Amino acid sequence: MKTLQHTILLFAGLMAATASWAEGTTAGTKVSNTATATYYSPTDSATPLTAESTTEFTVQEIIDVTVDSSSSATNVTAGETNVVVTYTVTNTGNGSEDYVIDVSNALTGIDFDVEDITIYQEDGTSGFNGTESELATDGLINLDADESVVLYVVVSIPATVSVGDQAITNLTATSQTSGASAASAGDVLDGVGDSGTDAVVAIDGAYYQEDHTYTVTANSDLVTVTKTVLIQLDPFGGDTAIPGTETTYQILVEASDAVDSLVITDALPEQVTFVAGSLYLAGSDLAGTELTSSNATLLTDSSTDTDGGKYEATLDTNGRVTVDLGDLSAAADYTIQFKVTID
């Protein structure tokens, strides 16, 4: 029974010690305890006597740190800048501790390196807004026991990456207590803790690493399309939208980067009729300018040729206009124009 009781008490003590790492008694605190005996002499039952014994120990320092991230992964696009990831570094030990914060690209398992890595420290206002102070170049911060600091890591993505490529960064917080970085969990470092105490290392190397993955995805904003009514000419020479009015539609297409298989389609409403021979394409931004054979290319309406333009009367509710621009190797602007009459 004594052995069982001893085991239970030892386990309870270990659990209590583990729980206290996050919020424990401050290193250097002296813990004093006195045992007192009160008794009477057989010859004097009126006078109480006492005997005391006092013992004291000093709480030693435990070195521990954690890093939490707002997320473990971020989707990015080629050439994107100011990509922000939020981290919280917490001194979960019981003494004041210096840590060096470092962010670097992982050495393996990556397709590219992120660029322009900068670390900012929160200035009291939640959320990154660009006014925060950069962390010192040596990455050194000091945290009291149970103190936390919010850091923002800001990076850029190279313009040359491809969809599906990944980068990984490693943020590390490393204790600067002498001998801690080479120690294993449970090692005791004599006399290097607060107030001259010994320091016990809670985690191997007295450091914590948090990884973050950046995955390149397609940019949904690579292409913008703007459609307008350029001209309306009614049967009486005016510009009123009445039955019989010829309406000229203009579509501006802007690709801000290389894209593949760019196709522009326009399903006609049932209240209009496509005007044959009115489909033009210009390889530039001619917004507000009527396209003619002098500044644009006339596309045939047929789906059997290779000029990329066609009108298919059997598709959608009332036919569909299609212009196939194909693969673009770089940014480009296009202007498309066609006509309908109001039924």
- Please tell me what DSSP assigns to residue 196: G
User: Which among 39, 96, 35 has a CA at the least distance from the CA of 65?
Assistant: 96
2-21, pLDDT tens digit by residue? 333 333 333 334 333 333 34
Q: State pTM to two decimals.
A: 0.63
The region of weakest confidence among 10-14, 58-62, 158-162, 245-249 is 10-14
User: Which among 67, 68, 64 has a CA at the least distance from the CA of 24?
Assistant: 64
**Residue 300: what residue type?**
T
Task: For residues 79 and 130, give the distance between their C-alpha atoms in angstroms, rounded to a whole number.
Answer: 19
Rg of the chain on CA atoms, in Å: 37
Backbone angles phi, psi at 13, to 5 degrees: -65, -40
183-212, pLDDT tens digit by residue? 999 999 999 999 999 999 999 999 999 999
Instruction: Please report the pLDDT score of residue 20 as a whole number.
Output: 37
Is a pLDDT exceeding 80 seen at residue 1? no
293-329, pLDDT tens digit by residue? 999 999 988 878 888 899 999 999 999 999 999 999 9
Angle at 302 between CA 299 and CA 306, to 5 degrees: 65
Residue with tokens 């206009």: 321
Domains of the chain: 62-216 (2.60.40.3670), 223-342 (2.60.40.740)
The average confidence (pLDDT) of the chain is: 90
Instruction: Please report the pLDDT score of residue 23 as a whole number.
Output: 56
